[in-house]
């Protein structure tokens, strides 16, 4: 599938906004362009949380507000619907959307994790992963949690068909598990922490041994094609803001920890435990492209998407917008 976005080259982007391209960063700082960021919840979103907490947007003449959602899929939907210029989401969501022809692109990959996703279960019903067969397992359909569940089950010789998948948001899955309405859920590490804390000794996190062999999740900043086409300078500002936040995360870890804990309403100890499961770094590379293709293949096999006529790798290469990061930090782009 060839999109209008992919057919535009860098020169056409520049000509489309010649006045803005010719302006200086200082002049742009006086414009105070107003935008909205659709943000997901959880410590895995530490980098964009730091952007918001420190208001790095203001350094680039942007007045940004946020809309908060309980999953990357909902945040992504808001951006695609035009309710926000950017969304913090995951490669699983973009992979599913891309396979279904949704016109959206990734402008930066800022966090990766494997063990940051967990399966939490009732101890009296599920003692090890094999016991999940036939059980009611909650996750949010079409999300990274859904994809994670499929990969987790495959690691233990099971598939989605072997469990009863219940469509719940993360917070609702925690409540349902504590009440005993479901047997397990697949969601973020922080949700697993809360379920264990609230479960009165009845809930445990199942083994994540060897998970990295089958599952890596990419936490990304995405935008609609329309946003990128209309305002590439804004996308550059977004990438610069993420790099500012990454710098704080690396050079002032205690301040970063405190800000993320404040945002997630968790203790510093619990937040640090979660942050220990993630790898932070603003980049665009072949591993992201590989995993987008894997996510799309999974979505097609699961009946969540129809197979496009275009080769999946070619399709998702078009869904990764490299111009902004290549302009700001060319060494961070390693995409063939």
* C-alpha R_g of the chain: 20
Domain 117-213 has CATH 3.40.190.10: yes
Least confident of 14-28, 179-193, 318-332: 14-28
pLDDT digits (tens, 9 = 90+) for 277-336: 999 999 999 999 999 999 999 989 888 888 888 899 999 999 999 999 999 999 999 997
Contacts of 311 (CB under 8 A, 6+ apart): none
**Residue 10: is its pLDDT beyond 70?**
no
Query: Per-residue pLDDT for 236 more than 90?
Result: yes
- Categorize the per-residue pLDDT at 178 as very low, low, confident or very high, splitting at 50, 70 and 90: very high
pTM over 0.85: no
Say what percent of the chain tops pLDDT 90: 82
The overall average pLDDT reported for the chain is 90
- Does domain 4-114+217-334 match CATH 3.30.1490.100? no
* Closest alpha carbon to 265 in 37, 42, 39: 42
Stated length of the chain = 336
pLDDT in tens, 75-124: 999 999 999 999 999 999 999 999 999 989 999 999 999 988 999 999 99
Residue 111 is predicted with a pLDDT of 98
Residue ranges covered by each domain of the chain? 4-114+217-334, 117-213
Fold matches, 4-114+217-334 and 117-213: yes
> What pLDDT does residue 107 have?
98
Does 5 have pLDDT greater than 80? no
Judging by beta carbons within 10 Å of its beta carbon (0-12, 13-18, 19+), is residue 15 exposed, middle or buried? exposed
* Cα–Cα nearest to 177, from 142, 138, 141: 138
Mean pLDDT computed over 217-234: 96
């Amino acid at each position: 599938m060839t999109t209008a976005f992919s057919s535009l080259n860098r020169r056409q982007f520049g000509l489309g906004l010649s006045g803005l391209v010719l302006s200086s960063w200082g002049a742009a700082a006086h414009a105070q362009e107003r935008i909205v960021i659709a943000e997901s919840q959880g410590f895995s979103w530490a980098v964009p949380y730091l952007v918001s907490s420190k208001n790095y947007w203001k350094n680039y003449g942007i007045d940004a507000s946020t809309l908060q959602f309980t999953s990357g899929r909902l945040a992504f939907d808001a951006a695609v619907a035009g309710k926000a210029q950017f969304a913090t989401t995951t490669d699983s969501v973009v992979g599913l959307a891309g396979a279904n022809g949704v016109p959206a692109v990734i402008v930066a990959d800022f966090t990766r994790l494997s063990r940051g996703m967990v399966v939490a279960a009732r101890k009296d019903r599920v003692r090890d992963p094999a016991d999940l067969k036939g059980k009611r397992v909650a996750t949010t359909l079409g999300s990274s949690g859904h994809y994670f569940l499929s990969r987790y089950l495959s690691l233990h010789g099971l598939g989605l068909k072997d469990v009863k998948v219940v469509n719940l948001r993360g917070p609702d899955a925690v409540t349902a598990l504590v009440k005993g309405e479901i047997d397990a859920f697949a969601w973020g590490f922080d949700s697993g922490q809360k379920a264990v804390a609230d479960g009165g000794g009845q809930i445990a996190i199942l083994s994540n041994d060897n998970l990295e062999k089958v599952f890596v999740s990419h936490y990304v900043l995405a935008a609609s094609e329309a946003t990128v086409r209309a305002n590439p300078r804004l996308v550059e500002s977004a990438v610069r803001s993420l790099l500012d936040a990454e710098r704080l995360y690396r050079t002032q870890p205690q301040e970063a920890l405190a800000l993320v804990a404040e945002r997630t309403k968790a203790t510093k100890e619990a937040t640090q435990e979660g942050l220990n499961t993630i790898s932070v770094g603003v980049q665009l590379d072949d591993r992201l492209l590989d995993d987008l293709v894997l996510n799309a293949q999974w979505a097609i096999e699961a009946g969540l998407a129809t197979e496009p006529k275009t080769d999946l790798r070619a399709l998702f290469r078009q869904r990764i917008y490299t111009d902004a990061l290549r302009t700001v930090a060319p060494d961070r782009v390693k995409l063939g």
